[in-house]
Amino acid sequence: MTKATVTAKPGEPFVTIERDFDAPRDKVFKAFTTKELVEKWWVGPGYKVTIEKLEARDGGAWKFTQIDQEGREFKFHGSFHTVSPGLTIQTFEFDGLPEPGHVSLDKMYLTEKGGKTHMRIESTFMSVADRDGMIASGMEDGMQNTYNQLDEVLKGL
Amino acid sequence: MVEQNIYLDNLFGSLADPIRRDILRRLINGRYSIRQIAGNYEISFAAVAKHISVLEKAALIMKERKGKEQIVSIAPQALEDASKYLAQYEALWNYRFDKLDDVLKEI
């Protein structure tokens, strides 16, 4: 099975995700830019996604809500700067942080070769701490709790 | 594929104090005495020793007596936890892309 390659180097505010898909570029692009299709795959173990807005065009906006099994909602939004099959540039922000302004800029390159498509997403964060926070947010609750507990332990010492 | 031992920033991102984060980053590269670590900072030796004690209580580092010196090293568990965070992030994307493979078959 094809696996994604995630690269996050220490001390740098970047994450790169690469993956090959056994489909032509137009189809992959469609699966990234069509509301009904994104709702099928932008999910995670134990949560689904509702897409309020997905205006996949230059200057458009997007707004997603993740809902976990306890019904808790996590909202995300951003803007599209450039949308094309070869290159899409957009911003990404998690709305659940104590203060707004932790935005990342994502560039997605799709290249087709022999009917298959290579995807490369380059995310640039505003700081290393923002990047690390984003990686941590992908964790299951149990890990998040461990993380919070560690924080509490350190505060109390 | 996860690049090994480089996701420590993620783990350390939860640590509030920049000096403690800096101490941990230095310890990724090797073992040092408290005196050697303290030499990197303008704050007092006692203040650095206190930071090290905080990190030790959180099980992120270990102290070992060698003659008159105390040698500090990073705890293996801390390294393991850090790479676990990234592995889980990668697992999330693999979960999504496997679903995307299914979507691509349907359209």
Does the structure show a pLDDT above 80 at B101? Answer: yes
Rounded to an integer, the average pLDDT of A36-49 is: 89
Q: What is the dihedral of CA A30, A36, A37, A39, to 10 degrees?
A: 130
Contact B5, B27 (CB under 8 A): no
Rounded to an integer, what distance in angstroms lies between the CA atom of residue A96 and that of residue A75? 7
A5-156 has which CATH code? 3.30.530.20
Low-confidence winner among A13-22, A74-83, A107-116, B8-17 (lowest mean pLDDT): B8-17
Hey, are the CB atoms on B7 and A8 less than 8 Å from each other?
A: yes
The beta-strand segments (E) located in chain A are 5-7, 14-21, 47-54, 61-68, 73-83, 87-94, 103-113, 116-124
**Model pLDDT, residue A123:** 96
**Model pLDDT, residue B104:** 96
Residues 36-65 of chain B with CB under 8 A from chain A are: 53-54, 57-58
Does the structure show a pLDDT above 80 at A51? Answer: yes
Rounded to an integer, the average pLDDT of B69-83 is: 77
Neighbours of A145 (CB within 10 A): 11
**Model pLDDT, residue B4:** 31
Hey, are the CB atoms on A21 and B100 less than 8 Å from each other?
A: yes
Contact A109, A89 (CB under 8 A): no
**Model pLDDT, residue A102:** 86
Position with higher pLDDT, A77 vs B27:
A77
Hey, are the CB atoms on B13 and A136 less than 8 Å from each other?
A: yes
The beta-strand segments (E) located in chain B are 32-33, 61-66, 69-74
Contact A85, A25 (CB under 8 A): yes
* Nearest neighbour of B10 by CB, restricted to A31, A132, A157: A132
Does the structure show a pLDDT above 90 at B16? Answer: no
Position with higher pLDDT, B11 vs B27:
B27
Does the structure show a pLDDT above 80 at A97? Answer: no
B104 touches chain A (CB under 8 A): yes
Hey, are the CB atoms on A22 and B92 less than 8 Å from each other?
A: no
What are the structural domains, with CATH classification, of chain B?
Answer: 8-106 (1.10.10.10)
Choose, out of B4, B53, B55, B97, the residue to mutate when testing the contact with A (most A CBs < 10 Å).
B97
3-state secondary structure at position B44: coil
Does the structure show a pLDDT above 70 at A40? Answer: yes
Low-confidence winner among A99-113, A121-135, B47-61, B71-85 (lowest mean pLDDT): B71-85
pLDDT tens-digit series, residues A142-153: 344 444 444 444
Tell me what the pLDDT averaged over chain B comes to.
79
**CA torsion sign, A121 to A125 to A129 to A130?**
negative
Structure tokens at B60: 């992120």
* Nearest neighbour of B104 by CB, restricted to A23, A135, A154: A23
A120, amino acid identity? R
Position with higher pLDDT, B25 vs A88:
A88
Does the structure show a pLDDT above 90 at A105? Answer: yes
Position with higher pLDDT, B10 vs A116:
A116
Closest CA in chain B for residue A150: B58
Structure tokens at A147: 């993380």
Confidence of residue A45 (pLDDT cuts 50, 70, 90): confident
Tell me what the pLDDT averaged over chain A comes to.
85
The whole-model pTM stands at 0.68
